[in-house]
Amino acid sequence: MVAWDCDTGKPLYNAIVWQCRRTAKMCESLEKDGLSDMVKKKTGLLIDPYFTATKIKWLLDNVPEVKACCEQGKLMVGTIDTWLIYKLTGGKVFVTDYSNASRTMLFNINTLEWDREILDLLGIDEKILPKVVPSVGVVGYTDEEAVGAKIAISGIGGDQQCALFGQNCFDVGNAKNTYGTGCFILMNTGDKPVRSQNGLLTTIAWGMDGKVTYALEGSVYNAGSVIKWLRDELKMIKSAAETDTIVYEVEDNGGVYLVPAFTGLGAPFWDSYARGTVVGMTRGTTREHFIRAAVESLAFQSKCIFDAMAEDAGMPITELKADGGVSVCDFLLALQADLLDIPVMRPEVTESTGLGAIYMAGIGAGIWKSTDEIKKNWKLARKFEPSDRKELSNKEYKTWLRAVERASNWIEE
Q: Domains, the chain, ranges and CATH?
A: 2-155 (3.30.420.40), 158-352+361-413 (3.30.420.40)
Element (H, E) at 71: helix 64-71
pTM of the model: 0.91
Cα separation, 9 vs 12, whole angstroms: 9
pLDDT profile of the chain (413 residues), mean per 10: 96 93 94 96 94 97 97 97 97 97 97 98 97 97 92 96 97 95 94 93 96 95 95 95 95 97 91 94 98 97 95 92 95 97 96 96 96 94 96 96 96 78
Alpha-carbon gap, residue 149 to 360, rounded angstroms: 20
pLDDT for 185 equals: 96
Position 379, amino acid: K
The Cα–Cα gap between 17 and 181 comes to 13
Please give the pLDDT value at position 146. Answer: 83
**CA pair distance 411, 314, nearest whole angstrom:** 35
Which residues have C-beta within 8 Å of that of residue 314, sequence separation ≥ 6?
none
**Cα–Cα distance between 404 and 407 in angstroms, integer?**
5
Beta-bridge mates of residue 322: 177
Of residues 32, 33, 22, 30, the one with CA closest to residue 47: 30
Q: Return d(Cα 97, Cα 206) in angstroms, integer.
A: 8
Q: What is the pLDDT, as a whole number, of residue 19?
A: 82
